[in-house]
Structure 1
């Protein structure tokens, strides 16, 4: 069996791909690098250029109910969870889970994006240790 090597592409869903493009371009502060004409968008973001995609809900491999959270919570590493959480709320997300310390060096929070997906942010000591070791 091949070992799992880590996350690659995270895919969310949206009924309105134009609105999703605008919102996530504001969140990431970059335009998507890939645009599959009205069906799929993808950005490369973060320290390791992780891929984040938004697929038009009509093409989802499972039912996506408008306004309802779907899928797993993917946490993005951030330096300041409270600031990231407040920024997402200011961009139109709604509260899902307020910033909470989960243990020494681990703080999480999550929001619902305007399309019903759960978006998490996290201060993760392990992530920081790996990043520091790579520098």
Structure 2
């Protein structure tokens, strides 16, 4: 049985800069901080930074849940991201957006009013 999202890994080529940027975006400091891996606990899920990686926008996409997607897009753009794809209403009240982080990865955001946190295992 596959359980819900546990970890999202982002390859970066400047670990100190990426660590500082992701800490500002998610509002948390890393709980695990080593030269080979930096881990953040984001609402019970793992965001990991892998140094000396090859960032890219064509790989796996991970969408992080938000309450107000318009506000979060503005906030993260102000922190140095750029728009990869604008906010889109994909139906039934669900909205998604993709931002390019300063390191070459896609940071996905989703507002899904149907998400049930009690279903997370």
Q: Normalization by structure 1: what TM-score?
A: 0.82
Match for residue 16 of structure 1? Answer: 14
- The number of residues matched between the two structures is 120
Instruction: Note the aligned Cα RMSD (angstroms).
Output: 1.7
Deviation of 1:131 (Å): 2.8
Asked whether the equivalents of residues 70 and 116 of structure 1 are also in contact (C-alpha less than 8 Å), the reply is no
- Find the counterpart in structure 1 of residue 29 from structure 2: 31
The whole-number CA distance in structure 1 between the counterparts of 2:69 and 2:8 is 20
Mapped partners of 1:53, 1:14: distance in 2? 10
Please list, as runs of the form range in 1=range in 2, the aligned pairs for 1:1-135 lying within 5 A after superposition.
3-36=1-34, 38-46=35-43, 49-57=44-52, 60=53, 64=54, 68-127=56-115, 130-131=116-117
1:126 aligned counterpart, secondary structure: coil
Structure number, greater radius of gyration: 1
In structure 2, stretches of 5+ residues that fail to align are none
Query: d(CA) in 2 for partners of 1:8 and 1:87?
Result: 25
TM-score by length of 2: 0.91
Alignment partners' CA distance in 1, 2:118 and 2:65 = 13
CA separation in 2, counterparts of 1:42 and 1:15?
Answer: 16
Question: Cα–Cα, structure 1 residues 11 and 132, in superposed 2: closer, same or farther, change >3 Å?
Answer: closer
Between Structure 1 and Structure 2, which shows a larger proportion of helix residues?
1
Post-superposition, which runs of at least 4 consecutive aligned residues in structure 1 deviate over 4 A?
A: none
Q: Which runs of 5+ in 1 are unaligned?
A: none
